[in-house]
Amino acid sequence: MACNLFAGLPMAPEAAERQETLLVWPGLRIERIVSSGQASPPGFWYEQADAEWVLLVSGEARLRFEDEAEARPLQAGDWLHIEPRRRHRVESTAAETPTVWLAVHYAQDRIRG
């Protein structure tokens, strides 16, 4: 993949989200995720052992935390930190335009304090 975050974006909605690793180091992983209208399956919650810092680079999405009553609408530039094991799901992503996420996953217990 070319070293541009907007390279090779889908021109039309695809069957599945794309996920590409941009950098990996023990305890650290940076990835690009490209959504084109996907959402988490009904009833599905992410529950990750690692912490995640995530940026919505372009497009739109709604991210729901289980411990919050409503989904958070995310616009280009919005970022947030997801604590390990905090259950969350993607309620929706824009159908008309690709949604590009940059996710930085890091294992809090593998990094020396």
> Which stretches of the chain bind its own copies, using CB under 8 A?
3-7, 22-23, 25-28, 30, 51, 53, 55, 57, 75-81, 102, 104, 106, 108, 110-113
Q: List the structure tokens of 67.
A: 């411990």
CB of 69 to its own copies, least distance (A): 19
CB of 66 to its own copies, least distance (A): 20
Q: List the structure tokens of 44.
A: 């599905």
Beta bridge partners of 73: 62
Closest to its own copies by CB, 44 vs 83, is: 83
Contact between 13 and 59 (Cβ < 8 Å):
no
Closest to its own copies by CB, 39 vs 102, is: 102
By CB atoms closer than 10 A (0-12, 13-18, 19+), residue 54 is buried
Q: Which among 99, 28, 96 has a CA at the least distance from the CA of 62?
A: 99
CB of 30 to its own copies, least distance (A): 6
CB of 33 to its own copies, least distance (A): 14
Closest to its own copies by CB, 42 vs 113, is: 113
Residue with tokens 């919650």, as numbered in its chain: 45
